[in-house]
Amino acid sequence: MAVPMRQGQAALSHPLSPSDAARIRTAFESQAAGNFGQADAQLQQVRDSSLTGTVLAERCLSAPSACPTSMLEDWLARYTDLPQAPMVQAVLESRHDMPTNVSAGYPVNAAPGVNRASGDVINAAEAQNLYIQGQDQRLLDRALATPISRDATGKVAFYAGLSAWRLGEVPQAQLLFAQAASADRGTTELHSAAAWWASRAAGQIGNTKDASRWLVQSARCGDCFYGVLARRTLTRDSTQLHEARVPTIADVGAVSARPAGHRALALLQVGRVDLAEAELHTDWTQARNPNERQSIALIAHAMGDAADTPVRRTGGSQLVPGHSIDLPQRFTPQGGFVVDPALIYAIVSIESRFQPRVVSRSGARGLMQLMPRTAANFAGGRKEDLSNPSVNLLIGQRYLMALAQDEHINNHLIRLLASYAAGHTAVAHWNASEQSENESLSFLEAIPTPQVRKWIETVLLHSWMYSEKLNRRPVSLDLLAEGKKAQLPMEEETSLQ
């Protein structure tokens, strides 16, 4: 059996028999409900066992306590080629209860000559505060003395990983991020963030295989900030390939002949598009033959069409899956846009919800919620009507450009947005600013106010969705996805004209 596709496109095959497909679906559903015995019984009856490792990995990652150490070891011996392998490895390593000191090669508290007092252990709040304060070495030392069982949320490992990254201890950072990404009680957002950083660290030390696998794991949270970055990286390189033509029977055959391709098509058959995409994304990065890479990219794109989610049907965002964004009115600044309109509209969507006459309790006015005194500084000292949309956007645009040119901001987009939200003076005095001068995302994590961090992430996500709606290039998304410093995007560089 096969999934019919659009005209001229080969159908995607269904490799599982109807009975096997039904058993695999039941196995996924049973273990999601905590009925692991029923799941195992279903797996024992399938003839095509290609998805057994995938089902078991889902169990060990979502309910680690259901997987004894021997089961993890057996899984790693059998299924090291699956995308979930580094995550399962991280769960196994957490059973040792002490994080690994890369330089020594064994748990810190077992190293000869190391005798750390119990007071050296650290909790999540302390770890975050030390990172914000820029005390990287102190944080790393204390985190490496903290049993993993004391860090069930993964936050200590995450902030210690960021400190190790800033210190240039990339292998240590990779291990800590892996620990955070597999933490038992970590949030979906933290798992996605830690997996993105684990991917970046793995790539930095030349481990491209694990780099792609961690990136796939991060992308599974499609609407998380880091998940959006990961998904952009995974899909950007293959965009031109799948735009060239539709997949043929030869493409379907080439992909289904590959173990990962067979699993992907089987996962699509049982309704697990997320896991199917993970298989193809990982396989695409590892395929060496250009023709095979093209076939994989084409099938991945066709698989997205086959899924045909409600969001796709109603014109929702492809960059931020599961979301759409409104543009009630296309206000324009006097003289036109100089700054990327997608970013301007993103700020407006949060600050005023496109209500030109709104006034905050603090006195901020209009679409971009400008203070009258600030506005006067960028209007030649004149008192302007900030309830006039074109005037408000003109002055707000000037303010953004002035912030970009400030010597303390140095056209650092994350720092600029932080200054817009929290005030220039506050940002200039944040302790960790120097360590993160050219590191946009490590600076984002060092912002001491959670509300400001969330505001910045939301502005960026909205700006990328507006880029889609306005058919503009999401320059900041591409730069951040590559781990580079993002600058204030200008109208001319985001235009696709």
Residue 241 has pLDDT above 70, yes or no: no
pLDDT at 302 (0 to 100): 82
Cα-Cα-Cα-Cα dihedral of 231, 232, 234, 236, to 10°?
Answer: 150
Mean pLDDT of 186-197: 97
Strand 100-101 relative to strand 2-3, pairing: unpaired
In this prediction, residue 115 has a pLDDT band, given cuts at 50, 70 and 90, of very low
Residue type, 128: Q
3 state DSSP class of 12: strand
Whether 306 contacts 12, CB under 8 Å: yes
Count of beta carbons in the 10 Å neighbourhood of residue 50: 18
In this prediction, residue 101 has a pLDDT band, given cuts at 50, 70 and 90, of low
- What is the distance between the terminal CA atoms of the chain, rounded to a whole angstrom? 44
Beta strands in 48-168 (DSSP E): 100-101, 106-107
Tell me which residue of 455, 492, 462 sits closest to 477, measured CA to CA: 462
Q: 341-494 domain in CATH 1.10.530.10?
A: yes
pLDDT at 476 (0 to 100): 98
Residue 226 has pLDDT above 70, yes or no: yes
**Share above pLDDT 70 across residues of the chain, in percent, rounded to a whole number:** 87
Task: Give alpha helix (H) positions in 387-428.
Answer: 389-405, 413-422, 424-428
**Rounded mean pLDDT of the chain?**
88
Tokens of 87: 């995550």
Residue 456 has pLDDT above 80, yes or no: yes
Residue 309 has pLDDT above 50, yes or no: no
Residue 350 has pLDDT above 50, yes or no: yes
Which one-letter DSSP state was computed for residue 365? B
d(C-alpha 104, C-alpha 101), whole Å: 5
Residue 262 has pLDDT above 80, yes or no: yes
Residue 102 has pLDDT above 80, yes or no: no
Tokens of 423: 């005030």
Query: Burial, 326: exposed, middle or buried (Cβ in 10 Å; 0-12, 13-18, 19+)?
Result: exposed
Mean pLDDT of 366-394: 91
d(C-alpha 478, C-alpha 471), whole Å: 15
Tell me which residue of 492, 486, 327 sits closest to 412, measured CA to CA: 486
Tell me which residue of 241, 358, 231, 286 sits closest to 81, measured CA to CA: 286
Residue type, 157: A
Burial 217-247 (b: 16+ CB within 10 A, else e): bbbbbbbbbbbbbbbbbbbeebeebbeeebb
Mean pLDDT of 444-454: 95
In this prediction, residue 305 has a pLDDT band, given cuts at 50, 70 and 90, of low
Domain ranges across the chain: 2-82+238-308, 90-236, 341-494
Class of the CATH-defined domain 90-236: mainly alpha
pLDDT at 436 (0 to 100): 61
Residue 116 has pLDDT above 50, yes or no: no
pLDDT at 310 (0 to 100): 39
In this prediction, residue 336 has a pLDDT band, given cuts at 50, 70 and 90, of very high
pLDDT at 281 (0 to 100): 86
* Of residues 314 and 195, more confidently modeled: 195
Mean pLDDT of 227-238: 84
Query: What digits encode the pLDDT tens for the residues 1-17?
Result: 454 444 445 678 899 99
